[in-house]
């Protein structure tokens, strides 16, 4: 065991990071479930599931809510990844 593993501050911060990682995971899974419900509803009405305008709105909305230290570029990168992941994960559930 390294000396840093014994440091209580390091361990506390790592625990907090792990807790936050689980919140991120939970948030992504909740998002996937909600988008799946939305797509199912839209398909039942004969509507396109993808809405590029909505994606741009989301990026603008999240950008305005971002208080940092995440940069605007970092925020766009994360949301682009989440949006791409959502499409890949749910595309097979048609």
Upstream peptide bond of 68 is cis (omega within 30 degrees of 0): no
What integer pLDDT is reported at residue 2 of this predicted model? Answer: 64
What integer pLDDT is reported at residue 20 of this predicted model? Answer: 98
Closest CA to 82 of 21, 25, 28, 20: 28
Residue 5 tokens read as 């593993």
Domain of 68?
3-91
Instruction: Tell me how many domains the chain contains.
Output: 1
- The ranges of the chain with pLDDT < 50 are none
Closest CA to 76 of 55, 90, 51, 91: 55
Domain with residue 74: its CATH number is 1.20.59.10
What integer pLDDT is reported at residue 83 of this predicted model? Answer: 94
């Amino acid at each position: 065991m390294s000396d840093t593993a014994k440091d209580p501050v390091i361990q506390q911060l790592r625990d907090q990071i792990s807790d936050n990682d689980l919140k991120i995971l939970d948030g992504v899974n909740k998002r996937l479930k909600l988008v799946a419900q939305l797509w199912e509803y839209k398909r039942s009405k004969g509507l396109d599931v993808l809405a590029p305008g909505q994606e741009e709105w989301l990026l603008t909305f999240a950008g305005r809510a971002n208080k940092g230290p995440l940069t605007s570029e970092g925020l766009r990168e994360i949301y682009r990844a989440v949006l791409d992941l959502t499409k890949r994960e749910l595309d097979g559930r048609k």
